[in-house]
Structure 1
Amino acid sequence: MVAPRKAAFAEESAEVEVLFANMEKLKGLTKKIQGSLNRLETSGKSVEEAIGPIYGNTRRLQITNSNIDKVIDVIERLRAPLDQSNNEERIIRSDPRSTGISEYISSLDRATRALAGLRSSNLKSNQAAMSELSSLLRFGAKQLEDIFREILREDARPLEPLHYITKQKPFPPIPEDKVSRLRLIQSHIVASMAQTSQSPEYPTNKAYTEIRGDYLAGCLRNLAAACLSTARKTNADAIYKPGTNGIATYSVALEGLAYAEYDSLCPIFSRDDWARVCTATFRNALNEFGKTLRDLNIHIQNNLLTDCFLAFEIIDVVTNLTSRLDKRIGELKQPITDVLKPIRETAKQSLPRMLEDTRGRVQALVGLPNDGSAVPVTTEVMARLQALTTYLRPLSSVMTSMGDGGWSVISPAASTTSLPSTRSFDVGADGNELFAHYASDMLEALITSLDGRSRLLLKTGNVQGIFMANNIAIIDRMIRSSDLQPLLAGLAPKIEQWRKKAVAKTLEAWREPSGHLLDVQYTNRNTRPASGGGPIDSMSVVKSLGSKEKDAIKEKFKNFNTSFDDLVARHRSYRMEKEVRSQLARDIQAIIEPLYGRFWDRYHEIDKGKGKYVRYDKGQLAATLASLG
């Protein structure tokens, strides 16, 4: 046991000795390392003292280099617009047709942004570049303006409006594909000028109003000439017939073209420009329209009494036109209303002139028909009133502006530059009532003037009455057979009063033969006249008469025959309207026949049937009176 133990200790002892030997070696190595560290530290301090200035310079160089890089980056950013403008110049200087409008405008937009970038840099060194770029953009805008004009001219050839009106086809607007290109150009021009110009006027606006304005005026030129040619008359005294003039067709064409043009320009321009562009585009067309109305107005004034109806037609047509246009294109209402003012003033003047002309034409008659027939002036006056019923709406407007009775005096022509009265547009006024008052005044003037001339120029009351009755019959007939009937229904009592007055004057002459049929009867004699309606014994009555009384009865029969035959002959020589003749025959019969029948019943035996004194029996007299109708 002892031996193995000693061996183990000996082995461990050897290992300890080895360990100590290694520790000695480690100590020696540590000393050497420490010496090396000390030497290295000494050397490091020397290096640090030597490298320190170099390191500081290097840091400063790094900062400087970083600053230089930043400056270069800024310069690159500043040069980018210049480089871009150089790149865009090739496109902008080329033809937009070959490049394509969209690509061309995109290039201009990029150039515009480049210009904005240069301006934001605020460097004096960029002034020349900004000037060149601005010049390039103006050149591009001019190129686009030329393209804009060319597109517009492609559809600017005047068309024939009648083709579209007669076929009831809408007037053609600018084609949609061209509208798209025009809108693209217009949008760019507006954006470009916001950068390059302070002017609010865009060249494309001017181009559009010039080209399309000439187009519209050209389309309407033939219709303007047609209005003037259709106003001319072969018969100077003929009353204008509704629809004869071409003004209605002219207004339809103007309206159709206005709608088509407005539908074209609205997509092209911004909403703020619609009114301005629309007004400028239609300026030439409306000037032409105004000139046409002025020429028509001169024609109407020169033929006022026959062509004033054209003035009322124009008022009606143009007023309706402005009303329809105002619902879609309000900008055109006022210019058209302004050019209508002279026509309205002429229409106002015509109403008192017709009244004065009615009186004047009757007063100018140097003779009246001896046969009692009506004069043409009555028919002509009634024809005027009938013609006026065709234009009740514009007539009511004019009369309302004059006021009830304002037509009684001819007023000086109003200035065409004066503002229209607001009463012209009083829709609450009763136009039919105003017309009835005007017609009453005109008929009153006619009847009064005719009555005065008949008293002066016709010898007897009989023919005077027949003359007046004939004229009144024509008045009444022309009222009843036309649109005047419902309008002048209230005048029936006045017309009847005139008729009765004329009939009374005619019947006055028949009072003479009636007077010969009156006799004196004595009730205190033995033979009294029969009463109770029984038959009268003429022989007994005649026997009861004395010789002087018989002679008086014979004289009465003779005078009656002479007077009656003369009146019948004269009555048959007169020319009478059918209704006048029949009415007078009934009235005469109502006066003569009862008196003669009574007289004949009592005294027809005075000549014992020889017919020397009693020329007519009751049947013959009734037949003669009936023949008067």
Structure 2
Amino acid sequence: MELETVEVEFRVLEETLSKVDSLTESVAGSLGELSKSGSKAERAIQPISGKTYSMAVYGKNLEASLRVIEGIKGYAKLSAECEKVINQGPGLVGAQNYAKSISKLDKALGELKGSPMSSFHKVVSKMEALILKGRGAFQEDLVRTLDRAYNPIDAAGYVTQERRMPTVNPEETAILRELIEYFINANDPKDSLYIGKVTNYMLSSVAELGKSVQPKQRVNKGNYERGSNPIHIYTAALKGLLMAEAENLSHLFSHRDNIRMYYFDEIAAGVGAEFVKTVNGASDHVRRNMTTDSLMVFELIECTGILITAIQTISKRVPTVLNEAMKRLQSMAHEVFTEFLKYIDTRIQNMQQLPPESGVSDATIDIMSRMGRLADYKASALISISALSGPGAWIPTPKPAWASILPPASSGPTKPDPMEMLSSYFSDAIDALLLGLEMKSKAAGRKNPQVGLFVLTNLALVERFATKSDVYLILGESGGDRIERLRKRALNMFLESWKATASNLMDQTIVRPGSKQLSSKDREAIKEKFKSFNSEFEALVQQHRNYKISDKLLNETLVKEISFICPLYHRFYDRHCGGDFSKNVDKYIKYDKRQFDEKIESLKK
């Protein structure tokens, strides 16, 4: 039963599928006919569709071309407007308006090159040419303005008349500010143009002065006199010009400190380099003429220091060439210190004839004159001596004989302050002079008293020279102690004969206990003492008078020193004036105490 049911359902399914296949074939046939009809329609419509699309593209291109033409017309119009301004020049339209025109062109050119219109080469080239022309005109105007503002002057006249160096007037400063600002904003700064022009202006203004600084061989080979070279005027002129330019730059770059300092430093470097060339020429002359012109090196140091200090008031950066020049000059000054001591030695050794014992040596006058001139350069001498290792660094090699006569002067620290070192140097120079005269006098066969008087006479002149110049201030207390050491040494030599004579007054006779009388031997000894003393004393008095000491103050000082003998004579006189050694005392005692003192006092006349 179930099997029959399944068979019936299967037959129904087959019939249904057969109907579906028939329907599918019918639909497929209809679609084929429809496809043929569509192909015919497509072939008919296609030409019309292509023409419509082409027309749309053409329209779009036309619109774009019209926009490009309008854009180019705008650039061309802007170019024409700016061309009128640029052709007139910044002098007529004003730097600010001129700069705006160039900036507009520059900006427009950038836009044009970055757009589809960049292929319009003529327009691009025209704008580029106008920009170059505008910048060139700006630079020419900058050059003309700088030429007007920085026309060389006679700087020497300003210095000698004590006038301030001229500065750029406000109108030209305003023009320069606009011109320079334009180039800075255009990333095309004209630093070298400005710096070069101002530097040349300064150097041209002192050119003749610089030439006159170079020393010429003098017919009269006298010693160099301070101020006879115009180096100070030259330095003052450069200092004044730099100070004026610092003021100019403060107005020009009131809100641009970095640029202001850069310009000043570069100008100062250029000026400093030329200054050093001039100084080097002068120092070469000094080296060739050390005997007569050595002190000029201190003037060169002084002037170099003035310029360095002036620059330091404006900038933290001192040109390297100036610092290096100062070191070279200091080194030369050290040579001058040593050469002066050598000169003292040579000057004394070359003396053909010594003056009398109470006479002043020409060498003393010469050397103290030189020392006085050196003292005039105290400031620069202090700068130079401070670079030495310590006292005595200036002593020549090999060590001269005078440097070994006295023990080294006591000194504090290894390297004291510069003033102490300069005092020590001047004291060494005085030692070299007076001890040299002492050795020269002894070599000539003079006795110690004569040598002592000779040294004391010259020492008196040394002190007079010192007190009339800055030598006294430089020596100070320690230098005064050094002079006292020399004075005591010379006094001891001078008083040597007086002390020997005074030894006769040293009474060593002894009265035996229980006896009121001297022995005959002692009496004879006292007689001999009086005889020797009287003879030697009268010889010394006569010798002193023969010295003919013209320096009254010195003579009074010497007599005061000789007076040490008075109390000794008084004591000896008091002990023996009663006749304890002889019944005929008048034969042996020639002076009572008053007469003796008067005799000593008479030596002052």
Structure 1 length normalisation: TM-score? Answer: 0.72
Which residue of the partner structure matches residue 249 of structure 1?
Answer: 233
Which residue of the partner structure matches residue 260 of structure 1?
Answer: 244
CA, structure 1 residues 80+383, in 2 after alignment: closer, same or farther (shift >3 Å)?
same
Which residue of the partner structure matches residue 626 of structure 1?
Answer: 601
1:465-520 deviation line (CA, Å, top 9, x unaligned): 21122233444555566553574312444433332332222222224544666778
- Determine which of 434, 456, 459 is the counterpart of 1:472: 459
Which residue of the partner structure matches residue 99 of structure 2?
Answer: 105
Provide the C-alpha distance between the structure 1 equivalents of 2:416 and 2:431, rounded to a whole number of angstroms.
24
Which residue of the partner structure matches residue 601 of structure 1?
Answer: 577
1:442 and 2:417 aligned: no
Pairwise CA distance, 1:224: 2.9
Which residue of the partner structure matches residue 441 of structure 2?
Answer: 454
Q: Does the aligned pair in 2 maintain the 1:368–1:458 contact within 8 Å?
A: no
More displaced, 400-409 or 165-174?
A: 165-174
Provide the C-alpha distance between the structure 1 equivalents of 2:250 and 2:115, rounded to a whole number of angstroms.
38
Which residue of the partner structure matches residue 544 of structure 2?
Answer: 571
Q: Does the aligned pair in 2 maintain the 1:597–1:618 contact within 8 Å?
A: no
1:354 and 2:327 aligned: no
- Letter of the aligned partner of 1:438 in structure 2? Y
Pairwise CA distance, 1:187: 3.2
Which residue of the partner structure matches residue 183 of structure 1?
Answer: 177
1:502 and 2:504 aligned: no
CA, structure 1 residues 492+473, in 2 after alignment: closer, same or farther (shift >3 Å)?
same
1:135 and 2:122 aligned: no
More displaced, 401-410 or 492-501?
A: 492-501
More displaced, 251-260 or 363-372?
A: 363-372
Matches within 5 A, 1:531-570: 553=527, 560-570=533-543
Provide the C-alpha distance between the structure 2 equivalents of 1:612 and 1:181, rounded to a whole number of angstroms.
110
CA, structure 1 residues 57+518, in 2 after alignment: closer, same or farther (shift >3 Å)?
closer
- Determine which of 321, 324, 336 is the counterpart of 2:322: 336
Q: Does the aligned pair in 1 maintain the 2:265–2:315 contact within 8 Å?
A: no
- Determine which of 125, 144, 147 is the counterpart of 2:141: 147
Q: Does the aligned pair in 1 maintain the 2:283–2:297 contact within 8 Å?
A: yes
1:601-627 deviation line (CA, Å, top 9, x unaligned): 256997979x88765454433222112
Q: Does the aligned pair in 2 maintain the 1:293–1:343 contact within 8 Å?
A: no
Which residue of the partner structure matches residue 406 of structure 2?
Answer: none
Pairwise CA distance, 1:216: 0.9
Pairwise CA distance, 1:522: 7.2
Provide the C-alpha distance between the structure 1 equivalents of 2:130 and 2:416, rounded to a whole number of angstroms.
65
Which residue of the partner structure matches residue 394 of structure 1?
Answer: 380
Provide the C-alpha distance between the structure 2 equivalents of 1:68 and 1:500, rounded to a whole number of angstroms.
120
1:314 and 2:300 aligned: yes
Provide the C-alpha distance between the structure 1 equivalents of 2:492 and 2:309, rounded to a whole number of angstroms.
54
SS of the residue corresponding to residue 628 of structure 1 reads helix
Provide the C-alpha distance between the structure 2 equivalents of 1:209 and 1:485, rounded to a whole number of angstroms.
46
SS of the residue corresponding to residue 371 of structure 1 reads coil
1:355-389 deviation line (CA, Å, top 9, x unaligned): 22222322333432233434243454445555444
CA, structure 1 residues 232+274, in 2 after alignment: closer, same or farther (shift >3 Å)?
farther
Provide the C-alpha distance between the structure 1 equivalents of 2:313 and 2:510, rounded to a whole number of angstroms.
91
Q: Does the aligned pair in 1 maintain the 2:419–2:474 contact within 8 Å?
A: no
- Letter of the aligned partner of 1:181 in structure 2? I
Provide the C-alpha distance between the structure 2 equivalents of 1:346 and 1:469, rounded to a whole number of angstroms.
34
Pairwise CA distance, 1:232: 8.2
Provide the C-alpha distance between the structure 2 equivalents of 1:497 and 1:457, rounded to a whole number of angstroms.
24
Matches within 5 A, 1:225-240: 225=211, 227-228=213-214, 236-238=221-223, 240=225
Q: Does the aligned pair in 2 maintain the 1:464–1:506 contact within 8 Å?
A: yes
Pairwise CA distance, 1:436: 2.9
Which residue of the partner structure matches residue 538 of structure 1?
Answer: none
Provide the C-alpha distance between the structure 1 equivalents of 2:317 and 2:358, rounded to a whole number of angstroms.
60
Structure 2 gaps, min length 5: 1-44, 399-414
More displaced, 515-524 or 178-187?
A: 515-524
Provide the C-alpha distance between the structure 1 equivalents of 2:245 and 2:526, rounded to a whole number of angstroms.
97
Query: % of aligned pairs identical?
Result: 23
1:34-89 deviation line (CA, Å, top 9, x unaligned): xxxxxxxxxxxxxxxxx9x9999779856753552233213422453244324433
1:324 and 2:310 aligned: yes
Q: Does the aligned pair in 2 maintain the 1:458–1:464 contact within 8 Å?
A: no
Q: Does the aligned pair in 2 maintain the 1:220–1:250 contact within 8 Å?
A: yes
Give the alignment's Cα RMSD to 1 decimal.
4.3
SS of the residue corresponding to residue 173 of structure 1 reads coil
CA, structure 1 residues 586+98, in 2 after alignment: closer, same or farther (shift >3 Å)?
closer
Pairwise CA distance, 1:177: 1.5
Q: Does the aligned pair in 1 maintain the 2:455–2:490 contact within 8 Å?
A: yes
1:418-470 deviation line (CA, Å, top 9, x unaligned): xxxxxxxxxx9611222233234333333432332222114222201211222
- Determine which of 65, 73, 76 is the counterpart of 1:71: 65
More displaced, 231-240 or 464-473?
A: 231-240
1:98-119 deviation line (CA, Å, top 9, x unaligned): 4544443333233222322232
1:563-619 deviation line (CA, Å, top 9, x unaligned): 33332222122254444422321232322564377357256997979x887654544
- Determine which of 417, 420, 424 is the counterpart of 1:430: 417
Structure 1 gaps, min length 5: 1-50, 195-199, 412-427, 530-540
- Letter of the aligned partner of 1:625 in structure 2? I
Provide the C-alpha distance between the structure 2 equivalents of 1:575 and 1:235, rounded to a whole number of angstroms.
36
CA, structure 1 residues 508+283, in 2 after alignment: closer, same or farther (shift >3 Å)?
closer
Provide the C-alpha distance between the structure 1 equivalents of 2:545 and 2:454, rounded to a whole number of angstroms.
14
CA, structure 1 residues 522+104, in 2 after alignment: closer, same or farther (shift >3 Å)?
closer
1:246-279 deviation line (CA, Å, top 9, x unaligned): 4333333222211222333466577665455445
Provide the C-alpha distance between the structure 2 equivalents of 1:478 and 1:603, rounded to a whole number of angstroms.
54
- Letter of the aligned partner of 1:506 in structure 2? F
Provide the C-alpha distance between the structure 2 equivalents of 1:132 and 1:271, rounded to a whole number of angstroms.
38
- Letter of the aligned partner of 1:407 in structure 2? W
Query: Could you say which structure has the larger radius of gyration?
Result: 1
